[in-house]
Every structure is written in structure tokens, then in C-alpha cells.
């Protein structure tokens, strides 16, 4: 998505909630992304954003 469409947001590519989760996950093996959930939902704004505790 072009940056100018989201100029009001304080984050961007590489500095976003999604990139923070991606950086956090390797240090927390007790969690993993729940990819099955996003395929069950027809519409989601949280692609790859669902986590589940596995340990």
C-alpha cells in the first residue's frame, strides 16, 4: 500500500505492529502464528496477526 494513503499512521513498512510481532516471535518459542485462523475468517485486517500459545 502506498505510504501516502496511510500518512496519518505513525508506523510504516519495517516499523509496524506486524514487524514488531515478527521480531518478537523468535525469542518466544512458546507462541506461534495461528495461520489456520486467518483462513477460516472471510475478512481480516490482521493477516498473520493471530498467535497461539503452544508451550
How far out from the chain centre does Cα 17 lie?
6
Q: What one-character DSSP code corresponds to residue 32?
A: E
Locate the DSSP E strands across 1-55: 31-33, 51-53
User: What cell numbers appear for 4 in the block?
Assistant: 501516502
Question: Cell numbers 489456520 correspond to what residue?
Answer: 36
Q: What is the mean pLDDT of the chain?
A: 79
- Residue 12 has a pLDDT of 67
Cell triple for 39: 483462513
Average pLDDT of the residues in 33-53: 76
Position with higher pLDDT, 32 vs 15: 32
Amino acid at each position: 500500500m502506498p505510504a501516502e494513503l496511510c500518512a496519518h499512521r505513525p508506523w510504516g513498512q519495517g516499523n509496524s505492529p506486524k514487524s514488531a510481532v515478527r521480531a518478537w516471535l523468535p525469542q518466544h518459542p512458546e507462541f506461534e502464528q495461528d495461520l489456520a485462523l486467518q483462513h477460516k475468517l472471510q475478512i481480516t485486517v490482521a493477516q498473520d496477526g493471530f498467535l497461539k500459545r503452544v508451550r
